[in-house]
Amino acid sequence: GAGVSQSPRYKVAKRGQDVALRCDPISGHVSLFWYQQALGQGPEFLTYFQNEAQLDKSGLPSDRFFAERPEGSVSTLKIQRTQQEDSAVYLCASSPPRLAGGQDTQYFGPGTRLTVL
């Protein structure tokens, strides 16, 4: 596709349920990022992949959050035992390889709005 896609666009979960959020990056982009955007706030970094390797997960708020990118393309952010404070928009972004230039720009998807009741 032409851009980063995310699914579902909207997710409502009952407290305690597990959820999985999917990100399809731009084809050929080796870097993939997840951000969390709470209501009225700017996005905050969660985790970073280079190909299939998760190089930084320092922003994940708790051990209930888990991200994977097993084949270096599609990524899934999983949240176990969701809590109300997990309600936010989860944004995925990707960047091209450094040698291809433009690696400084992150291209964002439309996000998944998670509401935990």
Partner 1 sequence: AQSVTQLDSQVPVFEEAPVELRCNYSSSVSVYLFWYVQYPNQGLQLLLKYLSGSTLVKGINGFEAEFNKSQTSFHLRKPSVHISDTAEYFCAVRGSGAGSYQLTFGKGTKLSVIP
Q: Given the rule CB under 8 A, which residues bind partner 1?
A: 4, 31, 33, 35, 40-45, 48, 56, 59, 91, 93, 95, 104-111
Q: Which is nearer to partner 1, 79 or 93 (CB)?
A: 93
CB 67 to partner 1: min, Å: 14
Q: Which is nearer to partner 1, 15 or 55 (CB)?
A: 55
Kindly list the distances between the CA atom of residue 26 and the CA atoms of 38, 93, 116, in Å, as whole numbers in the listed order: 25, 9, 29
Q: Which is nearer to partner 1, 82 or 95 (CB)?
A: 95
| Main-chain dihedrals φ then ψ at residue 98, nearest 5 degrees | -60, -40
| Main-chain dihedrals φ then ψ at residue 50, nearest 5 degrees | -120, 115
Collapsing DSSP to helix, strand or coil, 82 comes out as coil
